[in-house]
Chain A
Amino acid sequence: MIRFAAASKSYRVDGALVPALEPVDLVIERGEVFGIIGHSGAGKSTMLRLINLLERPTAGRIFIEDRDVTDATGSELRKLRAGIGMIFQHFNLLSSRSVADNVAFPLRIQGNVSEGEITARVDELLELVGLTAHARKYPAQLSGGQKQRVGIARALASRPSILLCDEATSALDPQTTASVLELLADINRRLGLTIVLITHEMDVIRRVCDRVAVLEAGHVVEMGAVADVFLHPQHPTTRRFVAEADHREGHGPEFSGVTGRLFRLSFRGEATYSPVLSNVVRDTGVEYNLLSGRVDRIKDTPYGQLTLAMNGERVDDALAQIRDAGVDIEEVTR
């Protein structure tokens, strides 16, 4: 468990204090995948670095497993950090060392692990990330996705209970991003590791996170389960992120020629795959016109979001029937 207790951070720039993160109170539960999304400069990088104290809070406290670690120094700090793995946007591998030596690095600096144990652990980790064949290569010989896998293996070497991901997929192409995210989700499931990731892409949040916090100018403006935030974004910043993920812009003018009332239907879980709309049309005789939509998954939960125009005498009955099927409805004003 990670707890921010009114933790905030300001930087001194030319003698003036500039806030990077306003006081944050939040709890990240053990074993969950927690996403922090925000534009660059929103404070997400600072927030992530408060957890392993690469940044010290200016005020407030940081708790890890109910222990106040805010003032940890020396060997206490190093021990704490050994229990928290971290991966980075630009991988940050040691270019002068082989893949195997990079993965072994955190174990070697701890100094209390025998070379035999290190070799066994490195083999095991390289197998986990699928890089056994590349153990003797140097980072410069690997692709971006392979480098990030080395980064993940290295971060897991000392069996941490927490993994911090700093824009871990931002430098990767979409296909590689998908496979790295899959690996992270797999690690979370298999090892029960708590994962905290920061990103500027809602799609990353949608694929792997359980909960999300939206950061804007140092403030947490929205937080909750990913499905709730994704299907019913409240804050304008969140709405923009969701719209970007759906590749849709505002839909004022494009529906101008459409008749009837406009609704946005949000399906989640079982409802996504049941023939709700067909039943409604048969029972009430309304007509609907599908304007835009998406059916996908949020982590492991299927969801659908459709925007449609409805015509007919019994629209209100239709809406009631849709609601009864467990689908959320929002009328779109135009």
Chain B
Amino acid sequence: MSPMQTLFPNIDWAEIGQACIDTLLMLGGSLLFTVVLGLPLGIWLFLTARGQLHARPRLYSALSLVVNVLRSVPFIILMILLIPVTKAITGVSIGIRGAIVPLVIGAAPFLARLVETALREVDRGVIEASQAMGATTSQIVTRVLLPEARPGLIAGATVTAVALVGYTAMGGIVGAGGLGALAYQYGYNGYKPDYMLVTVALLVVLVQILQSLGDRLVTRYSRR
């Protein structure tokens, strides 16, 4: 027996490999759509807040309420509640594609709040200076707010990605597969501690990689 087989007698490494790929696909897909939805939503929240460029207090309150509701529903419940929606969008309610919809609905409002907070950190004076130069609101957003807030936005995306790793582990419930599902099925239900150890260790490594990548990008874009 090779040392690997002695240490981890139960493990099917091919299955672990597939689970890694599934987790990465779920993470990549959901992160992409989370940013596509969460970033504009965060910008919208920022612009409509009281005292901001397009202050619309009522719209802001409505958006804020939706975001808070979505953020307060536990992800596992959200996933079950969203099954009909998922079916309508992707045609399936299970598997990787089935998991991405609830992952995005769960994470986008979270990211939106982080985006809003990051944009609020941008010096008001810089926005005023841009207005004084005759910039349009869309120019202010794309050429001032987003570049100035870039470190904060990257930090927010990193936190969101790490949260998504946690969510994907729960995606096993809708049969999405991935490392979390393996840990639950074999490690927890199947009493195979080596499965638990390996899958959790891989998740830790994934989170470490995401976090240090995010930190590195934040440092690179910080000019203060």
A residues in contact with B16, CB < 8 Å: none
* Pair B131/A92 contact, Cβ less than 8 Å: no
Q: Is the interface of B mostly helix, strand, loop or mixed?
A: helix
Q: Is B77 an interface residue (CB 8 A)?
A: no
Q: Which residues of A are found within 8 Å of B123, using beta-carbon distances? A: 90, 92, 95
Are the C-beta atoms of B133 and A106 separated by less than 8 Å?
yes
Q: For B147, give the chain A residue with the smallest CB separation.
A: A96
Q: Does A54 contact B (CB under 8 A)?
A: yes
Whether A78 pairs with B126 at a CB distance below 8 angstroms is no
Are B134 and A94 touching (Cβ within 8 A)?
Answer: no
**What B residues does A82 contact at CB under 8 A?**
133-134
Residue tally, chain A, CB below 8 Å to B: 29
Q: Does B88 contact A (CB under 8 A)?
A: no
Rounded to whole angstroms, the CA-CA distance of A150 and B185 in the bound complex is: 62
Tell me if A79 is interfacial: C-beta within 8 Å of chain B: yes
> What are the interface flags for B115-142 relative to A under an 8 Å C-beta threshold, 1 for contact and 0 otherwise?
0000000010110111111111001000
Question: A93-B126, A95-B148 are contacts. A81–B223 as well, Cβ < 8 Å?
Answer: no
Interface string of A294-309 (1 = CB under 8 A from B): 0000000000000000
On whether the beta carbons of B129 and A88 are closer than 8 Å, the reply is yes
Contacts of B125 in A (CB 8 A): 88, 90, 92
Kindly state whether residue B150 has any CB partner on chain A within 8 Å. yes
**Which residue of chain A is the closest to B136 with respect to CB atoms?**
A78
Q: Is A38 an interface residue (CB 8 A)?
A: no
**Known contacts A93-B126, A96-B221, A97-B147: A78-B132 contact under CB 8 Å:** no
Contact A54 B147 (CB under 8 A): no
Question: Which residues of chain B come closer than 8 Å to A93, judged between CB atoms?
Answer: 126, 129
B146 CB to closest chain A CB, in angstroms?
A: 9
Contact bitstring A75-114, B, C-beta under 8 A = 1, else 0: 0011111101010101011111100000001101110000
Interface residues of B in 152-181 (CB under 8 A from A): none
A145 interface residue per 8 A CB criterion: no
CA distance A92 to B147 in the complex (A): 14
* Residue of B with least CB distance to A138: B223
A52 on the interface (CB 8 Å rule)? Answer: yes
Indicate if B143 sits at the interface (CB-CB under 8 A): yes
Interface residues in A137-192 (C-beta closer than 8 Å to B) = 138-140, 154, 158, 164
Closest-by-CB residue of B relative to A97 is B147
- The answer to whether B223 and A96 touch across the interface, beta carbons within 8 angstroms, is yes
Which residues does chain A contribute within 8 Å of B150, judged by CB atoms?
96
Q: Which residues of B contact A54 (CB under 8 A)?
A: 128, 131-132
B136 touches A92 (CB 8 A): no
A84 to B135, CA, bound (A): 13
Residues of B whose CB lies within 8 Å of any CB of A are: 123, 125-126, 128-136, 139, 143-144, 147-148, 150, 221, 223-224
Complex A-B, nearest 10 residue pairs according to Cβ-Cβ distance, in ascending order: A78-B134, A92-B129, A81-B134, A92-B125, A106-B133, A82-B134, A86-B132, A96-B147, A138-B223, A109-B135
Task: Provide a sorted-by-A list of 10 A–B residue pairs whose CB atoms are within 8 angstroms.
Answer: A82-B133, A86-B129, A92-B126, A93-B126, A93-B129, A109-B139, A110-B134, A138-B223, A140-B223, A140-B224
